C-alpha cells in the first residue's frame, strides 16, 4: 500500500502528494515544522510538539489554519491510515502559494502537511560505542537574526554545518555561537556530565529547546542528578567526563570523541547509559 500523506485535510498517495511551486515554503523556506515520534501507536509528548509548532508559527507571524486539537487528531489519523505504530511524523506548515516577491501577505493559503514513516535511527553500534563529533566553522544562526528557537523550514545553517561534519567523517557536527559558546548539533541538543552533574547550554546560547532535552532534564532531576543550564565552551566539552546528544529521532546517543579528543575514557559513561535506558523506558511506556 502506498504511503498516504495528509495535505490540508485530504490524504494523497505519496507520489501524488504535491504542493505549488509558488509556495513560499519552497521559494523562501517560509514555514515551520515539527519532527515527532510515536511508540506503540501513541504519540510522544504531543502537547509539547503542538505548543512548539504554534510558538514557531507565532514567531514568524504565520496563522496555522486549524486548532492544536485538530492538528493532533490529523496526526493520529495519518498514523492510523498508514498503519504505523512505531514511527516518525513530520508536520510542515508552509506560508502557502503566493507571488515571486517576498511579501507573505500575497500568500493566501498555508498548507498543512503530515508525513509519517518508519523510523530509521542511527545504527545500533553508535548507541553501544558512541559517536564522534567535530566542531564546525559554521556558526549557529545569531538569535537576533533568525532565532534557533524557531523550528523554521530554513535549515540551511544546520545543513552547512552537517556538510562540514560529513567532510570530516562525523555523523553529527557541533555548532558554536557568535561568542564561541557551545550551542547544539545540527539536529540534536548536547549535554555534558562533569563531576556527576549534568550541564547543557541555556536557550540564550541560541538553541532549539528540544523536547527530548526537556524529558532528559526531568529524568535527571527525578534521579537526583543536578542539572545546570549554563554557557559552555569547547574547553568544557574537552574536559567533560561524559557527553551525549538528545533528539526526537536519535533519542539519547552517547558521544565519545570530539575534535579527535576522547571524552572521559572514550566509552559511553554510566550517567549517559542510565539516562539512555530511562528515556527508552519513558518513551515506550508513556501515556500521551
How many Å apart are CA 205 and CA 72, to the nearest integer?
Answer: 31
β-pairing verdict for 227-229 and 197-200:
parallel
- The number of angstroms, rounded, from the C-alpha of 25 to the middle of its chain's C-alpha atoms is 19
Among 81, 89, 109, 85, smallest CA distance to 22 is for: 109
Would you call 252 helix, strand, or coil by DSSP?
Answer: strand
Label residue 61 left, alpha or beta by phi (over 0 means left) and psi (-120 to 50 means alpha): left
Nearer to ligand PMP among residue 98 and residue 272 (C-beta): 272
Residue 257 per-residue DSSP state: E
Residue with cell 532549539: 208
Distance of closest approach, residue 184 Cβ to ligand PMP, in angstroms: 5
Using alpha carbons, list the distances in angstroms from residue 178 to 81, 155, 192: 45, 18, 21
Q: Which of residues 79 and 91 has its CB atom nearest to ligand PMP in the complex?
A: 91
Of 203 and 257, the one with the shorter C-beta distance to ligand PMP is 203
Handedness of CA 43, 44, 47, 53 (dihedral sign): negative
Active site residues: 151
Return the number of the residue (174 or 263) whose C-beta is nearest ligand PMP: 174
Query: In angstroms, what is the minimal distance from the CB of 97 to ligand PMP?
Result: 26
Stated as kind and residue range, the H or E segment containing 28 is: helix 24-28
Nearer to ligand PMP, 164 or 184 (CB): 184
The burial of 69, by beta-carbon neighbours within 10 Å (0-12 exposed, 13-18 middle, 19 or more buried), is given as: exposed
CB of 199 to ligand PMP, least distance (A): 16
**Min. distance of Cβ 34 from ligand PMP in angstroms?**
8
Residues that bind ligand PMP (CB under 6 A): 35, 158, 184, 187-189, 208, 210-213, 246-248
Instruction: Assign 229 to helix, strand or coil.
Output: strand
Specify the residue, 24 or 213, whose C-beta has the smaller distance to ligand PMP.
213
- Positive or negative, the CA dihedral 208, 39, 62, 21 is positive
**Least distance between ligand PMP and beta carbon 155 (Å):** 7
Q: How far is the CB of 37 from ligand PMP (least distance, A)?
A: 8
Amino acid at each position: 500500500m502506498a504511503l498516504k500523506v495528509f495535505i490540508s485535510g485530504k490524504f494523497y498517495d505519496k507520489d501524488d502528494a504535491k504542493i505549488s511551486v509558488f509556495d513560499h515554503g519552497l521559494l523562501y523556506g517560509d514555514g515551520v515544522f515539527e519532527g515527532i515520534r510515536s511508540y506503540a501507536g501513541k504519540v510522544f509528548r504531543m502537547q509539547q510538539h503542538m505548543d512548539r509548532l504554534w510558538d514557531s508559527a507565532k514567531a514568524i507571524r504565520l496563522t496555522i489554519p486549524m486548532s492544536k486539537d485538530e492538528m493532533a487528531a490529523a496526526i493520529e489519523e495519518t498514523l492510523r491510515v498508514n498503519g504505523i505504530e512505531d514511527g516518525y511524523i513530520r508536520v510542515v506548515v508552509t506560508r502557502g502559494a503566493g507571488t515571486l516577491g517576498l511579501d507573505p501577505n500575497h500568500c493566501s493559503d498555508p498548507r498543512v502537511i503530515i508525513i509519517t514513516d518508519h523510523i530509521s535511527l542511527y545504527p545500533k553500534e553508535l548507541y553501544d560505542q558512541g559517536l564522534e563529533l567535530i566542531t564546525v566553522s559554521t556558526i549557529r544562526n545569531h538569535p537576533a537574526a533568525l532565532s534557533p528557537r524557531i523550528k523554521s523550514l530554513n535549515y540551511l545553517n544546520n545543513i552547512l554545518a552537517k556538510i562540514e561534519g560529513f567532510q570530516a567523517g562525523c555523523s553529527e557536527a557541533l555548532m558554536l555561537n557568535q561568542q564561541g559558546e557551545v550551542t547544539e548539533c545540527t539536529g540534536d541538543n548536547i549535554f555534558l556530565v562533569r563531576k556527576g552533574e549534568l550541564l547543557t547550554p541555556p536557550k540564550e546560547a541560541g538553541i532549539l529547546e528540544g523536547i527530548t532535552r526537556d524529558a532528559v532534564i526531568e529524568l535527571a532531576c527525578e534521579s537526583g542528578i543536578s542539572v545546570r543550564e549554563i554557557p559552555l565552551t569547547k574547553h568544557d566539552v574537552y574536559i567533560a567526563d561524559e557527553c551525549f546528544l538528545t533528539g526526537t529521532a536519535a533519542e539519547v546517543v552517547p558521544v565519545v570523541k570530539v575534535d579527535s579528543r576522547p571524552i572521559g575514557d572514550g566509552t559511553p559513561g554510566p550517567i549517559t547509559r542510565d539516562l539512555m535506558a530511562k528515556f527508552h523506558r519513558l518513551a515506550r511506556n508513556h501515556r500521551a
